[in-house]
Amino acid sequence: MSNSFGKLFSITSFGESHGNLIGVIIDGCPAGLAITEKDIQKELDKRKSGDNPASTTRREEDKAEVLAGIFNGYTTGAPICLVIWNTDIASSDYTKTRFLPRPGHADYPSYIKYGGFGDYRGGGRFSGRITAGFVMAGAIARKLLKLIRIEVMAYTVEIGGVVARDMGFDEIRHNIISNPLGCADDEATRRMITVIEEANKQNDSLGGIIEAVAIGLPAGIGEPVFDSLDAELAKGLFAIPAVKGLEFGIGFEAARKKGSDINDPFIIENDKMATSSNNAGGVLGGMSNGMPLIVRVAIKPTASIAKKQRTVNMKEIKNARIELKGRHDVCIVPRAVVIVESVMAITLCDFALKAGLIPRIIK
Amino acid sequence: MSNSFGKLFSITSFGESHGNLIGVIIDGCPAGLAITEKDIQKELDKRKSGDNPASTTRREEDKAEVLAGIFNGYTTGAPICLVIWNTDIASSDYTKTRFLPRPGHADYPSYIKYGGFGDYRGGGRFSGRITAGFVMAGAIARKLLKLIRIEVMAYTVEIGGVVARDMGFDEIRHNIISNPLGCADDEATRRMITVIEEANKQNDSLGGIIEAVAIGLPAGIGEPVFDSLDAELAKGLFAIPAVKGLEFGIGFEAARKKGSDINDPFIIENDKMATSSNNAGGVLGGMSNGMPLIVRVAIKPTASIAKKQRTVNMKEIKNARIELKGRHDVCIVPRAVVIVESVMAITLCDFALKAGLIPRIIK
Amino acid sequence: MSNSFGKLFSITSFGESHGNLIGVIIDGCPAGLAITEKDIQKELDKRKSGDNPASTTRREEDKAEVLAGIFNGYTTGAPICLVIWNTDIASSDYTKTRFLPRPGHADYPSYIKYGGFGDYRGGGRFSGRITAGFVMAGAIARKLLKLIRIEVMAYTVEIGGVVARDMGFDEIRHNIISNPLGCADDEATRRMITVIEEANKQNDSLGGIIEAVAIGLPAGIGEPVFDSLDAELAKGLFAIPAVKGLEFGIGFEAARKKGSDINDPFIIENDKMATSSNNAGGVLGGMSNGMPLIVRVAIKPTASIAKKQRTVNMKEIKNARIELKGRHDVCIVPRAVVIVESVMAITLCDFALKAGLIPRIIK
Amino acid sequence: MSNSFGKLFSITSFGESHGNLIGVIIDGCPAGLAITEKDIQKELDKRKSGDNPASTTRREEDKAEVLAGIFNGYTTGAPICLVIWNTDIASSDYTKTRFLPRPGHADYPSYIKYGGFGDYRGGGRFSGRITAGFVMAGAIARKLLKLIRIEVMAYTVEIGGVVARDMGFDEIRHNIISNPLGCADDEATRRMITVIEEANKQNDSLGGIIEAVAIGLPAGIGEPVFDSLDAELAKGLFAIPAVKGLEFGIGFEAARKKGSDINDPFIIENDKMATSSNNAGGVLGGMSNGMPLIVRVAIKPTASIAKKQRTVNMKEIKNARIELKGRHDVCIVPRAVVIVESVMAITLCDFALKAGLIPRIIK
């Protein structure tokens, strides 16, 4: 079950980059949720390439299709199967470089793990393309969370060393709607586009940081000690290729602060418990504390770069060079925003079901 | 099963800080592993307080006891139950502050989650004390890994803003043996001790960063896409109280680098595949790549500080102040080193069993 | 994950009787197993209707299709997705009887559980049709077991009160090949056909008993105390609609015997441990004992009968009558033989992987 | 995790027959349930030996002890650890017969599985004694079920071929209170005692059948297709040593009936849906249908008999004889009644939590 995630609201990922399809099974979705292919497509479109300056010019026209679990416009309580069919695949190139693992890619460990039987075309199971399944499942998760007034939102906070300025969630929510990089800071966006264009000219790539936030999560969500809120989110987020680190609240900065600086004092706000700061990022002892849940995810630069790179023929154990053809994303951060958001939504749905926040039947 | 972790080699945590005991069940340990209470005690002692300048002067004389699953000096294949009995507990203090959640602690969310029925004495289930169970289980995990020549090692790399210098694993292994902070850099250690002493005088606390490494892990370990090597490690590590972030390899630094800078080129070393750098931290696509697996964990400053802090009486929703009595660790990083090491060992044991690296019967 | 079964070799069932498709995901199949759609079709054909005197004359031309996880004729180690597309579906009838639960069917509890949102057409998720997914997964499981010389075989031992005579496994294996009811006793088969024809004339239905055996299972397979061999098999077999009971070895007869009658004495056979009888059915303490594993499954008569039956309109809570149209199987036992066999094969594959009997890569 | 059972309300079994203790961890019990050691002891006492004519005269004075998870008389939401300490153990005898597997016991397969490292004293992990843990967990499960008005009741319906007459649940509930065999039919009880005494004189043993019923279960409970009500119950019940078969409702009899005989017609009773018969035993399509849930469990005769039996020295592969010393239960059925009841209660608690019937906090 290593391709499944979640206990009560769980997803199972399947499909390959250049196979027939990319798919996802969602098991445990309550019956009675109104959902259409259009709802799913809307989220999926946020992931598509060609729409932002950091992305490949190749356009994937991914179309979400419901194969099971939705009937007459409502979820049935049965497993939901969503797929996108792969079309226009040119995979003849891949045989030539089959034994030349791309630096920074899963090619080498997957060759060892699966004895060379893996579908190597376009990275197969290790292509970022499989995250389209996460996004489709996320569309359903977000609809469920909306019912219980939990909002999940992700946005770009850093690309290629350019950092967006801090701002409030309302401003962020407003600004990211039309921003091409999923960033709330227009000024930083301009500089991000500049570094992206430079990296593109150099046949190179860039990484960045995505922040995701959940607003409206009541206190006490999380299942310590091992299925805690932060632990499950971390597990889910590391399923996104290119994630190399994550932190909650001030995260790594906490290592350099004093307790008196970062302990968030409790206060009364609107007759309810709150904290006057949110260095914890909304999570204490593996449970939500009622404040916005904030996680930041480090995305490494796209491993696929056009520059010639050193590698080893893994069949013959012989030094080699590899030069990747085709067009790749200079920076996947803008497209990954909706993926991070989706994984967060999926994870929180599972917790919301465990906590009894979502009814078994939506009415 | 939220208190269990691992699929084939799994641990279940139980017990409370001021209850009868702290315990752990290890299910799935192969039969035939020679193990004594002394082996377990040796690891447990590394976690004990009073031994380092950053720790409380209160000494916990935790004694590991085997209650089940080990017979005639060998594991039997049955669940192993290890406990430490809580002794000399003075918990009368806790009733006074029962409804005053300590800033930075789990008190408030756990009060909400468990409706006030939780054992609040000394943090109950949310005390760092429960990690003694992880360490006992880790002692067994490390013995198993040793059999297949996988070494797990953790060490302090930063405390209170003082950063240890980079060095090779051999030097680290040698230096940390006698270092009071679990740090390989003696010079940095001196400065760490200085900032610890300062923080102590100010009734304040400090955080830091622990790095853990696994050497000898063959390529192809990990179960993508969700039970991947980094995802499971992340999940396990977030069970350690005070962890606020983690990163593999260069981690967050990757967000600021170019692809050509961080893609680790493949090379041939001793007739085998290797990479000339290890920015990936040994993990690609959720699987090991044969290089040392490196993870860094951000530990926040101890939340318990003697300074008077603002809080809210959560029963009456009334502003209040809290002043914590008793002696607390100024910085838990040195004691957490063995905990991080243990969680890594436990996680890798599970993967090693899944991969068939460890036989079902040790002979 | 209630639509998933198995820990290391796990299947996830999806699809509905009158939806787009019936499908199954197999997660955890080792890479390198040679498998074709033809291999899968061959097993699937054993389940098809119209081939035996007990079955409906409606012919389902179910065609197995591989959507993911198999590449160039070999399993890749990625999740395998197998489907059959539903064709020629006439489901207009179902709306009329939507609120009239069929006696003996899941209609009523599923209406309550899913609040009326379930796909009611043809039983939806509760149709016997979903077992086509089990059979496709079983085809792969059997191929894996064959590699380690474990044979799984099921056969009809009773229909409508007619009991097949006891015989040895070699005789059974030979006789069932061409038997229309999957029964090894030709004489009993003739009488079974007679009672089937009589029941058919009376617009009634019949049940029966299927026995399944695994030969070649080494001793010590099973994961006590809860994931024991018999427990997991029982769990899997109860996923087959119409199963109302099961027993291992002499099963219920054991309740009427003395210990001295049924304890199987250990003997030496070909220099190996064996037992001189097999009343235990090959399982002791939840583990295989090296003798053939024998389970018998009670199948109730097809609930769908043409006779007019009493029911209640579950929306209006009003007495009603229901008369089922269309052609139904008089007795599903012959078609269920391959389903029982498949579930046994799937379950044993999971155990074989846990025990390390099947390598991670097939070479 | 093979020693764990249940998803939301889960138990983990540990301990050995002649080790320090027998224990159980209950994870997922809602906070706020009032429970005392006396409540647990009361259930445990029903399992004790020496109280019924079928049992050994050796008296086990098992005393339940709470080690974690209960605070001030209430469950805390943390894992509950319950144990009984083993006392007065005379295990010196076991070394002599260490390599002589007792016919009908787990000795041989466990020797193979655990390579001879298992604790062989008194059957170790394969002793019926571990079911004391199930009973302690069952005491908690029953209290939870009582809160939502679900009653679980088990009773002896057959011993050594003597069958109790059918009667209604009210009569059963009343009669079994003081019956020494847990049987509701006093007349049959007399005959059961006679056959038990005869078997005892012959140094032999007897089996029987236990029926368990759950009353008050609403319709729609169960998680098809694999975590169905019958499947999970079956899995749980096979963890009880000596269980060789089970059936729901009329079970195996269904195989000999016609559809028109056993389909339970729906009727209106007290303005609610019901069925006029209950051949299904309360379960349709893996879900409860609102009628009493009825399962019957076949218990084989105690494998330990004083008669000399044939066996093989499994170390030397040499024919041998074994003569078991000590006093054993002639028939374990009376003591197993509370065990069956406990497993049913545990399983139903898990379902009740999944269905949201039990709140996360008991108030």
Interface of D with A (CB under 8 A): 7-8, 354-356, 359-360
Separation between Cα atoms, residue A231 and residue A228, nearest integer Å: 5
- Model confidence at A29, pLDDT cuts 50, 70, 90, reads very high
Chain A residues with CB inside 8 Å of B105's CB?
A: 284-285
Separation between Cα atoms, residue D103 and residue C284, nearest integer Å: 9
Q: Is A360 part of a structural domain of the chain?
A: no
CB atoms B27 and D2 under 8 Å: yes
| pLDDT at residue A88 in the model | 66
Whether residue D192 contacts residue D138, with contact meaning beta carbons closer than 8 Å, is answered with no
CA D248 to chain centre: 16
CB atoms B1 and D7 under 8 Å: yes
Nearest CA in chain B to D71: B119
Residue D62: DSSP 8-state = -
- Model confidence at C89, pLDDT cuts 50, 70, 90, reads low
Nearest CA in chain A to B222: A113
- Model confidence at A95, pLDDT cuts 50, 70, 90, reads confident
Separation between Cα atoms, residue D99 and residue B141, nearest integer Å: 30
Shortest CA gap C77–chain A (Å): 6
CB atoms B356 and C354 under 8 Å: no
Q: Which two tokens stand for residue A116?
A: 């060379």
Give C25-45 pLDDT, tens digit per residue: 999 999 999 999 999 999 999
Q: Which residues pair with C87 in a beta bridge?
A: none
Q: Which helix (H) or strand (E) holds C248?
A: strand C243-248
Separation between Cα atoms, residue D86 and residue D60, nearest integer Å: 9
Residue type, D37: E
CB atoms A360 and D356 under 8 Å: yes
For chain A, give the number of residues.
Answer: 363
Chain B residues with CB inside 8 Å of C27's CB?
A: none
| pLDDT at residue C113 in the model | 98
- Model confidence at B51, pLDDT cuts 50, 70, 90, reads low
* Count of the separate structural domains present in chain C: 1
Share of chain C above pLDDT 90, in %: 90
CB atoms A14 and C25 under 8 Å: yes
CB contact set of A141 (below 8 Å; sequence gap of 6+): A9, A342, A345, A346, A348, A349
Of C326, C59, A222, give the one whose Cα is nearest residue D360.
A222
Beta strands in D220-265 (DSSP E): 243-248
Q: Which domain holds residue B277?
A: 4-354
- Model confidence at A118, pLDDT cuts 50, 70, 90, reads very high
Whether residue C314 contacts residue C105, with contact meaning beta carbons closer than 8 Å, is answered with no
| pLDDT at residue B96 in the model | 82
Q: Which residues pair with B344 in a beta bridge?
A: none
Residue D122: DSSP 8-state = G
Give D42-53 pLDDT, tens digit per residue: 999 999 876 677
Give B186-223 pLDDT, tens digit per residue: 999 999 999 999 999 999 999 999 999 999 999 999 99
| pLDDT at residue C318 in the model | 96
Q: Which two tokens stand for residue D18?
A: 């002649």
Phi, psi of C244 (to 5 degrees): -120, -5
CB atoms A356 and D355 under 8 Å: no
CB contact set of D168 (below 8 Å; sequence gap of 6+): none
The CATH number given to whatever domain includes residue B224 is 3.60.150.10
Shortest CA gap C231–chain D (Å): 4
Separation between Cα atoms, residue D323 and residue B261, nearest integer Å: 75
Q: Is D113 part of a structural domain of the chain?
A: yes
Whether residue D266 contacts residue D233, with contact meaning beta carbons closer than 8 Å, is answered with no
Distance from the first to the final alpha carbon of chain A: 32
Of A207, A204, A205, give the one whose Cα is nearest residue A300.
A207
Whether residue B15 contacts residue D67, with contact meaning beta carbons closer than 8 Å, is answered with yes
CB atoms C226 and D13 under 8 Å: yes
Shortest CA gap B79–chain A (Å): 19
Give D131-190 pLDDT, tens digit per residue: 999 999 999 999 999 999 999 999 999 999 999 999 999 999 999 999 999 999 999 999
Nearest CA in chain A to C13: A79
Report the neighbours of A using a cutoff of 3 or more CB pairs below 8 angstroms: B, C, D
Distance from the first to the final alpha carbon of chain D: 32
Chain B residues with CB inside 8 Å of C355's CB?
A: 360
CB atoms D15 and B77 under 8 Å: no
Chain D residues with CB inside 8 Å of A7's CB?
A: 7
Give A240-287 pLDDT, tens digit per residue: 999 999 999 999 999 999 999 999 999 999 999 999 999 999 999 999
Work out how many CB contacts closer than 8 A connect A with D.
10
CB atoms D68 and B113 under 8 Å: no
Shortest CA gap C19–chain D (Å): 17
Phi, psi of C111 (to 5 degrees): -60, -45
Q: Is B127 part of a structural domain of the chain?
A: yes
For residues A33-42, give the mean pLDDT: 97
| pLDDT at residue C92 in the model | 64
Interface test with D, best of B5, B25, B26 (most D CBs within 10 A): B25
SS3 breakdown of chain B: % helix, strand, coil, rounded to 5?
30, 25, 45
Whether residue D184 contacts residue D210, with contact meaning beta carbons closer than 8 Å, is answered with no
CB atoms D8 and A354 under 8 Å: yes
Chain C residues with CB inside 8 Å of A10's CB?
A: 1
Separation between Cα atoms, residue A125 and residue A263, nearest integer Å: 42
Nearest CA in chain A to C121: A71
CB atoms B206 and A258 under 8 Å: yes
Q: Is D331 part of a structural domain of the chain?
A: yes
Chain C residues with CB inside 8 Å of B357's CB?
A: none
Shortest CA gap D35–chain B (Å): 13
Of B111, B121, B238, give the one whose Cα is nearest residue A224.
B238
Separation between Cα atoms, residue D169 and residue D328, nearest integer Å: 32
For residue A296, pLDDT beyond 60: yes
Of D241, D18, D13, D14, give the one whose Cα is nearest residue D121.
D18
For residues A13-34, give the mean pLDDT: 97
For residue B91, pLDDT beyond 60: no
Chain D residues with CB inside 8 Å of B7's CB?
A: 1
For residues C174-188, give the mean pLDDT: 96
Pairing of strands C208-215, C151-159: antiparallel
Q: Is B360 part of a structural domain of the chain?
A: no
Give C207-266 pLDDT, tens digit per residue: 999 999 999 999 999 999 999 999 999 999 999 999 999 999 999 999 999 999 999 999
Of D296, D309, D300, D295, give the one whose Cα is nearest residue D331.
D300
Q: Is A362 part of a structural domain of the chain?
A: no
Residue type, C337: V
Shortest CA gap D258–chain C (Å): 5
CA B168, B174, B175, B179 dihedral sign is positive
Residue A210's Cβ-side half-sphere holds a number of Cα atoms within 13 Å equal to 31
Give C283-325 pLDDT, tens digit per residue: 999 999 999 999 999 999 999 999 999 999 999 999 999 998 7
CB contact set of D358 (below 8 Å; sequence gap of 6+): D30, D144, D147, D148, D349, D352
| pLDDT at residue A287 in the model | 98
> A56: exposed, middle or buried (C-beta count within 10 Å: 0-12, 13-18, 19+)?
middle
| pLDDT at residue A318 in the model | 96
Chain D residues with CB inside 8 Å of A354's CB?
A: 8
Q: Which two tokens stand for residue C283?
A: 């399982």
How far, CA to CA in Å, does A51 sit from each of A15, A178, D32? 24, 11, 53
Q: Is D285 part of a structural domain of the chain?
A: yes
CB atoms B78 and D6 under 8 Å: no
Share of chain C above pLDDT 70, in %: 96
CA A61, A67, A71, A72 dihedral sign is positive
| pLDDT at residue D299 in the model | 98
Shortest CA gap D250–chain A (Å): 29
Q: Which residues pair with A319 in a beta bridge?
A: A312
For residue B56, pLDDT beyond 60: yes
Long-range Cβ contact pairs of D194-200 (< 8 A, separation 24 or more): D195/D159, D195/D160, D195/D161, D195/D162, D196/D53, D196/D54, D196/D159, D196/D160, D196/D330, D196/D331, D197/D53, D199/C258, D199/D160, D199/D330, D199/D331, D200/D330
| pTM passes above 0.95 | yes
Of A20, A44, A71, give the one whose Cα is nearest residue A132.
A44
Buried b (16+ CB within 10 A) or exposed e, B1-26: bbbbbbbbbbbbbbbbbbbbbbbbbb
Separation between Cα atoms, residue C204 and residue C241, nearest integer Å: 18
For residues B112-128, give the mean pLDDT: 95
Which range is least confidently modeled, A60-64, A318-322, B97-101, B105-109?
A60-64
Q: Which helix (H) or strand (E) holds A37?
A: helix A37-46
Q: Which helix (H) or strand (E) holds A347?
A: helix A333-354
Among B232, B245, B256, whose Cβ lies nearest the Cβ of A247?
B245
Q: Which residues pair with A223 in a beta bridge?
A: A227
Radius of gyration of chain D (CA): 21
Separation between Cα atoms, residue C11 and residue C25, nearest integer Å: 5
Separation between Cα atoms, residue B173 and residue B176, nearest integer Å: 6
